[in-house]
Amino acid sequence: MRMGSYNYYKMFGCFNRKFKISESEPPPDVKEAFWRYSAGAQQMTAEQLLKFMVQHQEEYNCTAVDVADIMRHVFHRRHHELEMPSLSFTLEDFFYFLFQDDLNGPINPQVHHDMTAPLHHYFIYTGHNSYLTGNQLSSDCSEIPIAKALENGVRGIELDLWPNSTKDSVHVLHGRTLTAPVPLFKCFKSIKEHAFVKSPYPVIITLEDHLTPNLQARVAEMAIRIFGDLLYCPESGYTEDFPAVESLKYKIILSTKPPKEYLGSNHSKEGETSSPKYKDFSDDETEAESEADDKLESDSDYEDYDNCGRTSGNVAAPEYKRLIAIHAGNAKKKCLRQVLRVRIDRARRLSLSEQELERAASLYASDVVKFTQKHLLRVFPKGTRVTSSNFGPIIAWMHGAQMVAFNMQGYGKALWTMHGFFRANGGCGYFKKPHLLMSKNSNGDVFDPKLPWPVRMTLKVVVYMGDGWRLDFSHTHFDTYSPPDFYTKIYIIGVPLDAAKCKTRIIEDDWAPYWDQEFTFPLRIPELALLRIEVREHDRSDKDDFGGQACLPVSELRPGIRAVPLYDRKGRKFKSVRLLMRFRFE
């Protein structure tokens, strides 16, 4: 045979290998479960499937009606017929059902946390610079990313408010950058239209206000006109204790620093502040700006939250002040501990940069946790993250910070973690904080994540197999002449002592890889742990290819054999790619 013919034959043979797709076989555990619950028969009845769901999958609320619906869905999808001759499953039906993530997913798709606790008892899905379409320096500002974030379940939206060039209208943009502005009214309208598409629970709008009193009055007028009765405005003008989340359903909440006064004698024209003392920076101010501001303001500036009306001059727009339901501020570096320890009778929000949070957590962690037992703490990315990258959120969560503000327009492993965390509780954007973060022990001490906690739970994970890449990817996406070589990496993200990682073996030349490997994870603080899954395709000559990822809160995992859907790099769910896994707690 000539060499050219040989190469042609070899290439043709490889293409045959690539396109040869065999039906996936049920893993032994699936077969064993079917024979056990069907009592060795060839068909599993609805009553037997119900027994499997309650005993094996531990879905104690599953009913005969639920099982009948499952069977009808499976029959319609597999056989494309509307009428099911009998409510029973073959082994193939049973296996098909277990691989359907909408029927047999890894977490509860419904809201199931207690939603009657006050607002600060919850982690809140929060965005940072929610109006940006890309990087932090030169991307366009738009209402479109706001709508997208809300439709994905985000409940905290941040808007930076600045005067336009003629100082007669309000623009939203990232100040001191080249970002192109978007009119505020477009952002407000987008929020109104999309606020409750994904979740009925409240949307908090964080306003970074760089406006004069006249423009603040315009913001108030605009908010009232667009949001109307959706706005939550406490009667007293401030909140002594945060209301219950359940009572705030379908409400929009404004949060910002209450406006400071502009002194008439020094205020010559609109747009000029009265004196350096009243210079206000956004929560995202640089360290240099913060240091300069420290020289101008006293260590007690945390009290400036409520300084409105204490001096003479042009009083700030009263209607604007009335609409601010959550009073907020940011702490200066040199008085951070004082701010955290101050005893005040009004519930409010404090903003810290990721560096300030790390410093506070390192030096006085208990003060941070105590603060979050009464107030809201928002943590935002450092200013050098110009590409819209994000930081690891776990350090903020394990110190009780409710509003970890993320750049939702970017992507990366930190954002995968954020997406996964808020798939909890039906994806409603509110995750009830564990009791250990909201309580004190008999000595009056709060939770300390640095303490050597004992193992309180063991999670056992079996990775059986995966499928769906052949439907969602081109046949040449991973390898030009052969099927892909998949492996799965498993991570535990949580307090430092719980962090772990492992991986399956590589399965060569298979579009439906079968691993059947078990991994054991001892956990000390399972309430704050996440299971991160990443599938890679092994490449001998280059970097391994990405094949999908998922992140799931351990506290939300449902025991039993489950279908785990995978997501792309930007957090979009693949149509077909999923893993079959088993979760067991001991």
Catalytic sites, residue numbers: 128, 174
Helix residue spans in 469-554 (DSSP H): 469-472
DSSP per-residue letters across 132-147 = BSS-TTTPBB-SHHHH
Which residue has tokens 């494309």?
80
Question: What is the Cα 24 distance to its own chain's centre?
Answer: 33
Sign of CA dihedral 290, 295, 298, 304: negative
Residue 463 in tokens: 């990775």
Torsion, CA 441, CA 444, CA 448, CA 452, rounded to 10:
-50
Q: Are 144 and 138 in contact (CB under 8 A)?
A: no
Burial of 81 (0-12, 13-18, 19+ CB in 10 A): exposed
- Phi/psi at 174 (5° precision): -85, 110
Cβ-based neighbour number of residue 476 at 10 Å: 10
Cα of 74 vs its chain's centroid, Å: 31
Residues 6+ apart with CB under 8 A from 61: none
- In terms of Cα–Cα distance, which of 481, 483, 486, 462 is closest to 548? 486
Nearest to 253 by CA among 288, 204, 296, 215: 204
Cα–Cα distance measured from residue 459 to residue 522, given in angstroms and rounded to the nearest whole number: 6
SS3 401: coil
CA distance linking residue 124 with residue 140, whole number of Å: 26
Copy the structure tokens of residue 577. Answer: 């790619």
Residue 27's CB: how many other CB atoms inside 10 A?
20
- Name the burial class of residue 91, with classes exposed (0-12), middle (13-18) and buried (19+) by CB atoms within 10 angstroms of its CB: middle
